[in-house]
Amino acid sequence: MRGGDPYIRALMRTITASEANDPQPYTIIYGGQHVSDLRRHPEICVPIVAGPNVGKCSTAAGRYQFLDITWKAKAQSYHPRPSGFLFWKQYSFEAHFQDAVVHDWLKDSRAWGMDIPKELRQGNLDKVLRRLSGTWTSLGYGIETNSMSKHLPKVYERMIEEELNR
């Protein structure tokens, strides 16, 4: 992503490391398959085979593993260029729109009940990850930590150094 807050960009890259650690993160869906059409969220419900949600399915997709209902809700608030009009808006799921929606959502202190950029600048990554873990459960405080969860503070340190030196 170009532009925006470097602290938020580093956080976005950290979320990606935990949620969609793949060479093509924008097209990945839950379970590891890829989609080619990003004109909208794929809305493919993939059965969950492990963890506390076995037997359900997940529509998680893209770099930030947005559930379809989360994408629709957040795109309504943060998508920079929806198509259509009034109640018939469409929200492209193309890479730059995934980034734009997440960036602006993370910057919105009303959405999170905290000023995430300020907390990151003050070195409070743990506090931020804890707050976000209800949305991204792999961040280390949710119900589904993964092999990357414990490494996220180091990942963030590397990402913020890169972002600040761009």
Sign of the four-CA dihedral 49, 144, 52, 34:
negative
Average pLDDT value over all residues in the chain = 94
Tokens of 36: 């080619």
Could you tell me if residue 1 is inside a domain?
no
Could you tell me if residue 104 is inside a domain?
yes
Could you tell me if residue 116 is inside a domain?
yes
Query: Which helix H or strand E contains 15, and what residues bound it?
Result: helix 6-19
With bands split at pLDDT 50, 70 and 90, how would you rate the model's confidence at 50?
confident
Across 2-16, average pLDDT = 96
Q: What is the pLDDT of residue 148?
A: 80
Chain-centre distance for alpha carbon 6: 16
Find the distance separating the first CA and the last CA of the chain, reported in whole Å.
12
Tell me the sheet residues that pair with 90.
Answer: 83
Question: How many CB atoms are closer than 10 A to CB 112?
Answer: 17
- pLDDT surpassing 80 at residue 142: no
Tokens of 56: 């359900």
Could you tell me if residue 58 is inside a domain?
yes
Q: What is the pLDDT of residue 86?
A: 67
Number of domains the chain contains: 1
Could you tell me if residue 79 is inside a domain?
yes
Could you tell me if residue 45 is inside a domain?
yes
Diameter of the chain by CA atoms?
45
- Structural domain boundaries enclosing 123: 6-165
Q: What is the CATH number for 135?
A: 1.10.530.10
Residues whose CB is less than 8 angstroms from the CB of residue 117 and which lie 6 or more positions away in sequence, other chains included: 5, 7, 8, 107
Question: 3-state DSSP: the chain helix, strand, coil percent, rounded to 5?
Answer: 45, 5, 45
Tens digits of per-residue pLDDT, 14-28? 999 999 989 999 999
Tokens of 108: 């919105």
Tens digits of per-residue pLDDT, 51-105? 888 999 999 999 999 999 999 999 999 999 888 776 788 999 999 999 999 999 9
Could you tell me if residue 100 is inside a domain?
yes
Question: How many CB atoms are closer than 10 A to CB 56?
Answer: 10
Which pTM value belongs to this model? 0.93
